[in-house]
Amino acid sequence: MQQVYINQLSDYAGEEVTLRGWLYNMRSSGKLLFPQLRDGTGVVQCVVFKKGVSEELWDSLKNLGQESALSVHGTVRPDERAPGGFELDVNGAQVFQAVEGFPITPKEHGTEFLMDHRHLWLRSRRQHAILKVRHTVVNAVRDFLNHDGFTLCDAPVLTPAACEGTTTLFEVDYFDDEKAYLTQSGQLYNEATAAALGKVYCFGPTFRAERSKTRRHLTEFWMVEPEMSFATLDDVMDLCERFLSHIAARVLDERGEELKVLERDRSKLESVVPPFPRLPYDEAVKILQEGHERGELENRFEWGGDFGAPDEAYISSRYDRPLMVHRYPAAVKAFYMARDPERSDLALGVDVLAPEGYGEVIGGGERATSLEYLEEQLTAHELPREAFEWYLDLRRYGSVPHAGFGMGIERCVAWMCGIEHVRETIPFPRMLYRIRP
Contacting its own copies within 391-430 (CB under 8 A): 391, 393-394, 396-401, 426-428, 430
Residue 59's alpha-carbon distances to 18, 31, 64, 229, 393, in angstroms, are 20, 12, 9, 68, 74
Residue 293's alpha-carbon distances to 298, 306, 317, 319, 354, in angstroms, are 9, 20, 17, 20, 25
Tell whether residue 208 is a contact of its own copies (CB under 8 A): no
By C-beta, is 243 or 328 nearer to its own copies? 243
CB of 72 to its own copies, least distance (A): 13
- Which of 34, 47, 52, 69 touches its own copies by CB under 8 A? 69
Q: Which residues contact 184 (CB under 8 A, 6 or more apart)?
A: 162, 163, 164, 165, 168, 169, 206, 207, 208
Tell whether residue 385 is a contact of its own copies (CB under 8 A): no
**281: nearest Cα among 311, 309, 310:** 311
CB of 47 to its own copies, least distance (A): 22
Q: Which of residues 264-293 bind its own copies (CB under 8 A)?
A: none
Q: How far apart are CA 4 and CA 389, in angstroms?
A: 58
Residue 148: beta bridge partners? none
Contact string 214-253 vs its own copies (x = CB under 8 A): -----xx-x------xx-----------------------
Contact string 23-62 vs its own copies (x = CB under 8 A): x---------------xxx---------------------
C-beta separation of 182 from 170 below 8 A: yes
Tell whether residue 384 is a contact of its own copies (CB under 8 A): no
C-beta separation of 102 from 123 below 8 A: no
Q: How far apart are CA 263 and CA 281, in angstroms?
A: 34
Tell whether residue 180 is a contact of its own copies (CB under 8 A): yes
CB of 42 to its own copies, least distance (A): 10
Contact string 333-372 vs its own copies (x = CB under 8 A): ----------------------------------------
Buried b (16+ CB within 10 A) or exposed e, 221-233: bbbbbbbbbebbb
CB of 65 to its own copies, least distance (A): 9
CB of 67 to its own copies, least distance (A): 4
- Which of 81, 211, 213, 294 touches its own copies by CB under 8 A? 211
Q: How far apart are CA 81 and CA 62, in angstroms?
A: 24
Tell whether residue 182 is a contact of its own copies (CB under 8 A): yes
By C-beta, is 224 or 323 nearer to its own copies? 224
C-beta separation of 350 from 359 below 8 A: no
CB of 210 to its own copies, least distance (A): 10
Residue 22: CB atoms within 10 Å:
20
Tell whether residue 96 is a contact of its own copies (CB under 8 A): yes
SS3 8: helix
Total number of residues binding its own copies (CB under 8 A)? 90
Q: Which of residues 107-136 bind its own copies (CB under 8 A)?
A: 117, 119-120, 122-123, 127-128, 131-132, 134-135
Residue 267: CB atoms within 10 Å:
8
- Which of 140, 153, 239, 403 touches its own copies by CB under 8 A? 153
Q: Which residues contact 230 (CB under 8 A, 6 or more apart)?
A: 198, 400, 401, 402
